[in-house]
Structure 1
Amino acid sequence: MKGYTMETNISMDTCWGTLGSVRPFPNFRPEKDIADIQSACQQKDVTTLVRIMTNRDNAQRQSLAQNYLSTTSKELTADLKRALSGDLESLMLDLLLTPDQFDAQRLHRAMKGLGTDEETLLEVLCTRSPPQLKGITSAYNKMYQKDLEKDLEGDTSGDFTKLLLALIKKENGTGTVDQDVNCLSEELNGEKADATPWISLLTTRCPDHLRKVLTSLEGAIGQPVDEALEKRFGGLMSGDLKLGLTTLVHCIQNPATYLAKRLQSMKGGVVQGVLVSHCEEDLLIVRVAYLRETGTSLYSALQSQFKGDFQNALLALCRAED
């Protein structure tokens, strides 16, 4: 089965060397796009809006938004809001944010109102690199006139807070595999569970090093690390911490598989968050992982779960059947 129709004239050279499903549109003509978008907004031509917005990469969409304002004296976001509604409106507006702004928005929404969406907080913070996290933190502070670190402290507690704060300051340092394995082994064999060594090591080493550490640790303890963490931090009072540490371990070991499992919920907010965040980065390997985990392609799963124009937009970001 073919994926949602892409605009033509995309060469193989353009596609080469990226793991994203959405790539720069090679025949990008802002003036034509602006005219088409303005007409589509007036006529509420959703098909044209989806076609353009999902066939341009983020840099091109940022250029469109800037040029739309200078050409029409109107904000593109305002015109899209008047033309669209519901889930599709939300998705199209998300595509107009920069990657840092989008992740910052997800963090803010995860802490907004009653309750905290710990899983979304962890998804963003565990899957992002140190440079990305710096950009996200800066975007958050600018967008909401609030300090991300203080908001995390105010919305969470205990060792879970310590983990989140360590994640936003994540480092790509190096260490000695044997020493790190011994450190974690000693903690697992200790009388009382202590999150400090886990938080310290898992947030200050580069992913390649940590994968070696976790593989060696599993050999030493004779079980998967996530199972060891479940037993070690499975007490009722430390549920968030257990979730945080196991999520971080899963993201270190195989981020694509972690994201594929997140997508299996097929919750609209989760799916939209992952697709927008990763469609220009690594969605192709997430699709492969989803197929491996479920036996069904992500494209087919989206077709089964969602309907109408929102479905078409999600399929456009997913791009093709596997």
Structure 2
Amino acid sequence: MSNYPQGFGSYQSYGGYGGFQVSFNMPQMSSGPPPPPMGGGYGYSGYGGGYQQSGYNNFGGFNSGFNCHAVQQMSGGYPMGNQPPPQPPQPPMSYTHQPFVQHQMEMNMQRHLYQQMGYQAPKKPKPPADDGEEAQEEEEEEDTSGKTIDDDIKDKMKKFYVDELMRRYAITSTFELANGVVCPMMKYPPEDMVVTFYKEERDTDLAGEDWDPEADCEYLNVAMKGPGTTESIITHIVATRCNAQRQKLKEMFITMYGRDLIKEIKSELSGDYKDAILACFVSPAEFDARCIKKAIYGLGTDEQSLIEILMTRTNAQIKETKGVYGRVAKPDKPPTDKMLDDDIRGDTSGDFKRLLVSAAQGNRTELDRHKVENAVEEIVNANGDGTGMFEVNYTKLAHEGKAKRDAKILFEAGEDRWGTDEESFNRIFAVRDFYQLREIYKQYVRIAQADIRHAIDSETSGNYRKGLYAVAQSVMNRPKFFAERLLKSMKGLGTDEETLIRIIASRSEIDMVQIKAEFLELTKKTLYRYIQEDTSFNFKKILCALVGEN
């Protein structure tokens, strides 16, 4: 099973909870199609069981558009009990993306799931009034239609929550919400271009019907048949079907017409637009492998591409990429697991080479399910009673004593000595899991009275510095790292089209919602508008379609 986006075909409603079949249908997000029901496997994109984090309008009493600080946005109330529960243990605000908004979203998700299962959801009291005044008591009709939540149901809710956390962890090595803009098309919406085509040409209404790769291929064939090409058809289908569905389109097209869809696209399209479309038809692991090969085998070495890929992927994703790298890089030789390591060693040098080789092992320490289960705790109200709602006690995910030791090692290896002990930086940055690194960074601030990135900037240089920074930024806020890379690719004279294609194609199904929020924070413009102003023609159209309007 792939560890990259596997959204298509994994959408099952939650079952097995006391015999209830539960689907978790959330409001439509502001950019892209609505999310599917929760359930299914651990797809990299998160579509196997997740809920969208941006674009809700006052769902649960707050707007989570991520355009201002979380505290300002939470106009709603606390999730349960007669008194506000204590704030959940959270990593430092600078080390995680909008933790309080995420916590509120998760509480609403759990309440909604209780209601879907037919149980009386824990109450959510009204928030305190502004200016410190006492909260106004508002009459609220008590919901007595649901059954009382007992310990067995609480255990099932905890299991559901842990399952969801492990799904997220498989995507990004963190528990933060990660949402893509491009979602699988499960059923044809009435406005889809293929629906219009079938109505006019086949006298058949596909609206509301299950997605059909044969119908899509018919319309793609129309787009490329005869003189000229209807690029708008290709753009629409590519941007509204997920990567797994595009793989099915390649299989169906050659079955239907005896022609290779990719060869047809190559012959019909040109320039950056063709490159962007082709990137979307490559499976994610192979796409990463191709990008790494190009970074190494091209003229010179594209160190930034190597950093971007190897420092931001999970262990499983890196290992899957290594598994196909030999076939991609050296198709005339028998593939081995060492080909990527050998190519990195042959094309880079020094501390940077060692950092890349370490990352390419895909062997960073990871949290196991037992540790996550131990860290998930039931929230209690002011009376000490359990509420039936669960949250992560982040203090249980990291070992404080070991973090203090590693932070001291980093301080003594850098700012507290003449020269830098790069080996210590490499070992700690390459081996520790993300939550242990967050605790190390927190302890480092206490020792050095400076952020870990200050040590990186002051004690290292060149591509080694960039690699360490990428790890630190990915641990603290990965969407911001990608937002910074996108901005750099478009800011100033000229445009780095390869970087634009690589990031947008690879993140559109993973965390593009969060990347867009960070981009807006950085530039005060949406990514959509920035692309519109920096690119042109069909290339602009496909990129804008993949990132979506805010």
TM-score with structure 2 setting the length: 0.55
Supply the AA of the counterpart residue of 2:233.
T
Match of 1:79 among 264, 267, 279: 264
CA displacement 1:195-226 (0-9 Å, x = unmatched): 11111111111112111211221232112222
Equivalent residue number for residue 154 of structure 1? 346
Tell me by how many angstroms 1:106 deviates: 1.0
CA distance in 2, matches of 1:123, 1:38: 36
The 3 A distance-change label for structure 1 pair 193 and 308 is: same
Q: Which of structure 1's runs of 4+ aligned residues deviate more than 6 A?
A: 3-6
Structure 1 residue 268: deviation in Å?
1.4
Quote the residue 2:483 is aligned against.
260
Equivalence for 1:182: 408
**Range that drifts further, 280-289 or 64-73:** 64-73
* CA displacement at 1:114 relative to structure 2: 2.4
Q: Partner residue of 2:4?
A: none
Where do residues 280-291 of structure 1 align in structure 2 (5 Å cutoff)?
280-291=509-520
Q: AA paired with 1:221?
A: A
Q: Is 1:21 paired with 2:244?
A: no
TM-aligned CA distance change 1:5 to 1:121, over 3 Å? closer
* 1:275 corresponding residue in structure 2: 504
Which stretch has the larger CA shift, 263-272 or 149-158?
A: 263-272
In the alignment, is the contact (CA less than 8 A) between 2:408 and 2:447 conserved in 1?
A: no
1:54 is paired with a residue whose SS is helix
Q: Secondary structure of the residue that 1:320 maps to in structure 2?
A: coil
What is the correspondence of 1:150-229 to structure 2 with a 5 Å cutoff?
Answer: 150-170=342-362, 171-173=364-366, 176-188=402-414, 189-229=416-456
Residue-pair matches, total: 312
Which is further off, 20-29 or 10-19? 10-19
Helix, strand or coil at the partner of 1:148: helix
Shift of 1:275: 0.6
Task: Compare 143-152 and 95-104 and name the one that shifted more.
Answer: 143-152
User: RMSD of the TM alignment (CA)?
Assistant: 2.0
Q: 1 CA distance for matches of 2:435 and 2:465?
A: 23
How high is the sequence identity, in percent, across the aligned residues?
26
User: Residues 11 and 128 of structure 1: is their aligned pair in 2 closer, same or farther, counting only changes over 3 Å?
Assistant: closer
For 2:409 and 2:34, the matched residues in 1 are separated by: 51
* SS, match of residue 254 in structure 1: helix
* Higher helix proportion (structure 1 or 2): 1
Q: TM-score, normalised by structure 1?
A: 0.92
Amino acid at match of 2:430: T
Q: CA deviation at 1:272?
A: 1.1
Choose the corresponding residue for 2:542, options 301, 313, 320.
Answer: 313
Could you give the per-residue CA deviations for residues 112-141 of structure 1, whole angstroms, max 9, x where no partner exists? Answer: 232111111100011101000001111211
Contact 1:181 1:213 in 2 (8 A): yes
Q: Which residue of 2 aligns with 1:103?
A: 288
Partner of 2:173: none
Alignment of 1:8-87 (within 5 A): 11=34, 13=36, 17-18=51-52, 19-27=179-187, 28-43=211-226, 44-87=229-272
| Alpha-carbon shift at residue 192 of structure 1 (Å) | 3.1
Structure 1 residue 143 and structure 2 residue 369: aligned? no
Q: Is the Cα–Cα contact under 8 Å of residues 35 and 51 in structure 2 kept in the other structure?
A: no
Structure 1: state its 5+ residue gaps: none
Q: 8 Å contact 1:41–1:82 — kept in the other structure?
A: no
TM-superposition CA deviations, 1:219-267 (whole Å, max 9, x none): 3211222221222124xxxx22122222222222211111101011222
Structure number with higher relative contact order (C-alpha < 8 Å, ≥ 6 residues apart): 1
1:11 Cα offset (Å): 4.8
Q: Please report how far the alpha carbon of residue 190 of structure 1 lies from its aligned counterpart in structure 2 after TM superposition.
A: 3.0
| Per-residue deviation, 1:38 | 1.0
Give distance in 1, aligned partners of 2:30 and 2:538.
12
Deviation larger for 79-88 or 207-216? 207-216
CA shift in 2, pair 1:313/1:4, >3 Å = farther
